[in-house]
Amino acid sequence: MNRTAADIGQGLAPARTARPIAAGERIHVVGSAGAGASAAALLAHHAGAVVSGCDPGGPSPYTSALAAAGIALAWEHSADHVSSVPGDEPQRLAVTKALTSVNPDDPELVAARAAGIPIEGWQQVVADSCATTGQRLVAVAGTHGKSTTTGWLVDLLVRANRDPSAFVGALLDERLTGASPATARWGRGDQFVVEADEYAGNFDPYQPSVAVLLNAEWDHPDVFADEAAVLDAFESWLRRAPGSTLVANVGDPGVARIVDRLAGWDGKLVTVSLAGAADIAAQLEIAAGRSRLSVTGSDGHVAEFDVGLPGPANAANALAVVGVARVLGVDDSFVRESLAEYGGVGRRMEVRGDVGGVVVIDDYGHHPTAIARTLEAVRLRYPGRRVWAVYEPLTFHRTARMLNQFAAVLATADRVAIADIWAGRDPDTTVTSAAELAKAVSDAGGPTAAAPGSVEATADYLAERVQRGDVVLVMGGGRSYVICSRLVELLGKFPPGGRA
Phi, psi of 427 (to 5 degrees): -85, -15
Domain CATH for 154: 3.40.1190.10
Give the three-class secondary structure for 311.
coil
Q: What tens digit of pLDDT does each residue of 149-208 get?
A: 999 999 999 999 999 999 999 999 999 998 889 999 999 999 999 999 998 889 999 999
Residue 384 inside a domain? The answer is yes
pLDDT at position 500 is 42
Residue 462 inside a domain? The answer is yes
Identify which of 349, 387, 300 has the alpha carbon closest to the alpha carbon of residue 147: 349
pLDDT at position 344 is 82
What would the DSSP string read from start to end of 110-178? HHHHHHT--EEEHHHHHHHHHHHHTPEEEEEE-SS-HHHHHHHHHHHHHHTT---EEEEEEEE-HHHHS
Cβ atoms within 10 Å, residue 430: 7
Q: What tens digit of pLDDT does each residue of 113-148 get?
A: 999 999 999 999 999 999 999 999 999 999 989 999
Global pTM value: 0.87
- 136 - beta bridge partners? 191
Same domain, 187 and 212: yes
Supply the angle between the helices 332-341 and 312-328 in degrees, to the nearest 10. 150
From CA 273, how far away is CA 252, in angstroms rounded?
Answer: 8
Q: H or E stretch including 280? A: strand 280-287
Phi, psi of 44 (to 5 degrees): -65, -40
Does 345 score more than 50 pLDDT? yes
From CA 85, how far away is CA 366, in angstroms rounded?
Answer: 42
Same domain, 330 and 356: no
Same domain, 292 and 198: yes
* Structure-model confidence comparison of residues 51 and 223, the more confident one: 51
Report DSSP state, residue 308: -
Residue 499 inside a domain? The answer is no
CA–chain centroid gap for 232, Å, is 21
* Structure-model confidence comparison of residues 85 and 77, the more confident one: 77
pLDDT at position 424 is 75
Strand order in the sheet with 92-95: 72-74, 50-54, 26-30, 92-95, 119-121
pLDDT above 70: percentage of residues in the chain: 95
Q: What tens digit of pLDDT does each residue of 391-424 get?
A: 999 889 889 989 999 999 999 999 999 999 998 7
pLDDT at position 124 is 98
Q: What tens digit of pLDDT does each residue of 426-465 get?
A: 767 888 999 999 999 999 999 999 999 999 999 999 999 9
Range of the domain at 410: 350-493
pLDDT at position 88 is 77
Examine the fold and report which residue of 93, 124, 155 is the final residue of a domain before the chain moves on. 124
Does 390 score more than 90 pLDDT? yes
Same domain, 86 and 162: no
Same domain, 260 and 356: no
- Say how many domains are in the chain: 3
Q: What tens digit of pLDDT does each residue of 258-307 get?
A: 999 998 899 999 999 998 899 999 999 987 767 899 999 888 889 999 99
Same domain, 187 and 330: yes
Same domain, 203 and 307: yes
Examine the fold and report which residue of 341, 376, 402 is the final residue of a domain before the chain moves on. 341
Measured CA to CA in angstroms, residue 313 lies from 249, 310, 357, 372 at distances of 11, 8, 27, 10
Domain CATH for 411: 3.90.190.20
pLDDT at position 303 is 93
Res. 1 pLDDT band, cuts 50 70 90: very low
pLDDT at position 371 is 92
pLDDT at position 2 is 52
Does 4 score more than 70 pLDDT? no
- Mean of pLDDT values over 320-326: 97
Residue 53 inside a domain? The answer is yes
- Mean of pLDDT values over 464-468: 95
Q: What tens digit of pLDDT does each residue of 208-263 get?
A: 999 999 999 988 877 888 889 999 999 999 999 989 999 999 999 999 999 999 98
From CA 357, how far away is CA 238, in angstroms rounded?
Answer: 47
Same domain, 332 and 372: no
pLDDT at position 497 is 57
Same domain, 328 and 387: no
Same domain, 206 and 72: no
Same domain, 293 and 364: no
Same domain, 406 and 469: yes
Residue 500 inside a domain? The answer is no
Res. 26 pLDDT band, cuts 50 70 90: very high
Res. 5 pLDDT band, cuts 50 70 90: low
- Mean of pLDDT values over 301-330: 93
- Mean of pLDDT values over 381-397: 94
pLDDT at position 85 is 62
